[in-house]
């Protein structure tokens, strides 16, 4: 299986040095499931000073990133299977489903904007999609690029241990938030682990986890409930507000 190739275009390549040297992303690179190249966008800018931004046409505060460096860089880096993504607050909301789709691409090119944004011609004529990690604004596309990259890479086969079943139990994987997790000690400062988890009864434990997942999602993210196909038993649980022990 070919590794997922990722090229990142940014004004701040050092931003990625720490995250790529630790954790899941580092293991994926060492394991051969991922190759990442972080590129200085100024390398594709014209002129002595390699300027990548300019004033906004029509007036307004702040600077806008120029289209030329992005187009030139993608021209140089793109492969036939390249999928080009602009990280932008104006983009489509990044979800677990989107992470799964990105994990299946052979080559990702992630464009990181800065300042007041990127010239609209990049969004409309260069990229395959714009993605936003949430309804808020951060200082640039670097952090969203790392979020999208980490979420996608951990879904690439063999990157994480535990197999596909373990991934399916995580929050959002099946459309619901994950059930509460506990570890040793069984009792700490008067706070006890739910007795059912110590019972050894796998069916009871599975039922408890499903119930807790449903109740947690209903309490914290009711918007997700409407998107999930619920069984008759699930609907009965959501109709019962009492929390199980």
CATH of the domain at 139: 3.40.1280.10
Predicted confidence pLDDT, tens digits, the chain (245 residues): 799 999 999 999 999 999 999 999 999 999 999 999 999 999 999 999 999 999 999 998 899 999 999 999 999 999 999 999 999 999 999 999 999 999 999 999 999 999 889 999 999 999 999 999 999 999 999 999 999 999 999 999 999 865 555 455 555 557 899 999 999 999 999 999 999 999 999 999 999 999 999 999 999 999 999 889 999 999 999 996 444 43
Same domain, 59 and 173: no
Same domain, 141 and 211: no
With respect to residue 179, please indicate whether it lies within any of the assigned structural domains.
yes
Q: Are strands 63-65 and 53-55 parallel, antiparallel or unpaired?
A: antiparallel
Q: Is 244 in contact with 211 (CB distance < 8 Å)?
A: yes
Q: Is 98 in contact with 92 (CB distance < 8 Å)?
A: yes
With respect to residue 115, please indicate whether it lies within any of the assigned structural domains.
yes
Same domain, 106 and 148: yes
Whole-angstrom Cα distance, residue 184 to residue 203? 21
**The pLDDT value given to residue 243:** 43
Q: Is 118 in contact with 70 (CB distance < 8 Å)?
A: yes
With respect to residue 20, please indicate whether it lies within any of the assigned structural domains.
yes
> Which of 118, 153, 188 is a domain's end point?
153
Spell 164-197 as b/e; 16+ CB within 10 A means b.
Answer: eeebeeebbbebbbbbeeeeeeeeeeeeeeeebb
Whole-angstrom Cα distance, residue 203 to residue 233? 15
Whole-angstrom Cα distance, residue 122 to residue 70? 7
- Please give the model's pTM, rounded to 2 decimal places: 0.87
Asked whether the CA dihedral 192, 193, 194, 195 is positive or negative, the reply is: negative
With respect to residue 159, please indicate whether it lies within any of the assigned structural domains.
no
Same domain, 128 and 202: no
Q: Is 105 in contact with 81 (CB distance < 8 Å)?
A: yes
Same domain, 117 and 223: no
Same domain, 132 and 221: no
Same domain, 24 and 139: yes
With respect to residue 244, please indicate whether it lies within any of the assigned structural domains.
no
Q: Label residue 238 exposed, middle or buried (CB < 10 Å: 0-12, 13-18, 19+).
A: middle
Residue 6 tokens read as: 């990722």
CATH number for the domain spanning 207: value is: 1.10.1270.20
With respect to residue 48, please indicate whether it lies within any of the assigned structural domains.
yes
**The pLDDT value given to residue 160:** 87
What is the number of structural domains in the chain?
Answer: 2
Same domain, 142 and 37: yes
> Which of 120, 153, 186 is a domain's end point?
153
With respect to residue 245, please indicate whether it lies within any of the assigned structural domains.
no
With respect to residue 161, please indicate whether it lies within any of the assigned structural domains.
no
**The pLDDT value given to residue 174:** 75
Same domain, 19 and 140: yes
SS3 breakdown of the chain: % helix, strand, coil, rounded to 5?
40, 20, 40
Same domain, 133 and 227: no
Same domain, 18 and 112: yes
> Which of 97, 123, 153 is a domain's end point?
153
Same domain, 180 and 142: no
Domain span including residue 173: 169-239
């Amino acid at each position: 299986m070919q590794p997922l190739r990722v090229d990142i275009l940014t004004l701040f390549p050092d931003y990625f040095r720490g995250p790529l040297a630790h954790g899941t992303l580092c293991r994926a690179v060492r394991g051969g499931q991922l190759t990442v190249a972080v590129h200085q966008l100024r390398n594709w800018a014209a002129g002595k000073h390699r300027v990548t931004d300019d004033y906004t046409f029509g007036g307004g505060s702040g600077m806008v990133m120029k289209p030329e460096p992005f187009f030139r860089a993608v021209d140089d880096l793109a492969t036939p299977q390249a999928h080009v993504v602009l990280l932008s607050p104006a983009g489509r909301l990044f979800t677990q489903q989107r992470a799964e789709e990105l994990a299946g691409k052979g080559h990702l090119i992630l464009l990181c904007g800065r300042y007041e944004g990127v010239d609209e011609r990049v969004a409309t004529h260069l990229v395959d999609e714009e993605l936003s990690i949430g309804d808020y604004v951060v200082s640039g596309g670097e952090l969203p690029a790392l979020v999208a990259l980490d979420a996608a890479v951990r879904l690439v086969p063999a990157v994480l241990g535990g197999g596909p079943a373990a991934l399916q139990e995580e929050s959002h994987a099946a459309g619901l938030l994950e059930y509460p997790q506990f570890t040793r000690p069984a009792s700490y400062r008067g706070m006890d682990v739910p007795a059912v988890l110590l019972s050894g009864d796998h069916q009871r434990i599975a039922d408890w986890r499903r119930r807790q997942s449903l109740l947690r999602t209903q309490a914290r993210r009711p918007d997700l409930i409407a998107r999930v196909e619920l069984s008759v038993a699930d609907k009965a649980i959501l109709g019962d507000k009492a929390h199980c022990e």
